[in-house]
Structure 1
């Protein structure tokens, strides 16, 4: 779609340049024959081209184009946990306890769901914890 729009823009640019060159050539030819008439003709042509340019600017800014499609949803992050008692989550974690007989301290109320940044979340090693979002409370040792 972008290539098609770019090709159309180049065609319009070259068409406008061609019309400009022909107009300048015609004004030079008229100026050689009659300078007064060339002045009047240049004034009229300038006014018409200004109106056309304004119309094309407004059309290019506000109309005539197709809306751009919405951006695709971000891909889910890659979540990996390796090691004894390790924990990995692609989003928020309320509370985690990885040691024997541990219980995490009560954390604050669960945080508002947040969309984690795209990417990977990895927890490697014994009792490691990783999250793609917020972590409320973690206990990784023995009680």
Structure 2
């Protein structure tokens, strides 16, 4: 059972319970009181069971852990599976202070390759790169 199905089951049970209590309250208030107690207890147990089920079941909506491939093959090349704040590959150069990196880190997985001489590649954002000589 998917988490979406569990969600809609919970919404359906809450709606049915609310409608039942309103109808019972309009028809006979004295008869609605014991039904409300039973319905409240049952809803609490069903809610607890659904919560435990969702917590214990493996998440099908989460991405599966995948192997990532990060390769730097060229002379002085740089490759990173995530973001690179600052990189310098030239002679006499210094890495500059990178700008603020926006957003969350990228999800793991995929292929990142820097194959040429002094090439820079990242699976995320690149803040500052200097590949030439000073």
What TM-score does the superposition give when structure 1 sets the normalisation length?
0.48
Residue 107 (structure 2) pairs with residue 120 (structure 1): no
Q: Which residue of 2 aligns with 1:135?
A: 126
Return the match for 1:70 from 19, 42, 59: 59
Return the match for 1:89 from 65, 76, 80: 80
Q: Which has the larger radius of gyration?
A: 1
What TM-score does the superposition give when structure 2 sets the normalisation length?
0.51
Superposed CA offset, 1:105-141 (max 9, x none)? 3221344541246310000010000001111100000
Q: Do 1:90 and 1:116's aligned partners in 2 also have CA atoms closer than 8 Å?
A: no
Structure-2 separation of matches of 1:111 and 1:103: 23
Task: Name stretches of at least 5 consecutive residues in structure 2 with no aligned partner.
Answer: 2-45
Q: Do 1:94 and 1:110's aligned partners in 2 also have CA atoms closer than 8 Å?
A: yes
Task: Name stretches of at least 5 consecutive residues in structure 1 with no aligned partner.
Answer: 2-61
CA RMSD for the aligned pairs? Answer: 2.8
Structure-1 separation of matches of 2:102 and 2:92: 26
Alignment: residue pair count? 83
Structure-2 separation of matches of 1:140 and 1:94: 14
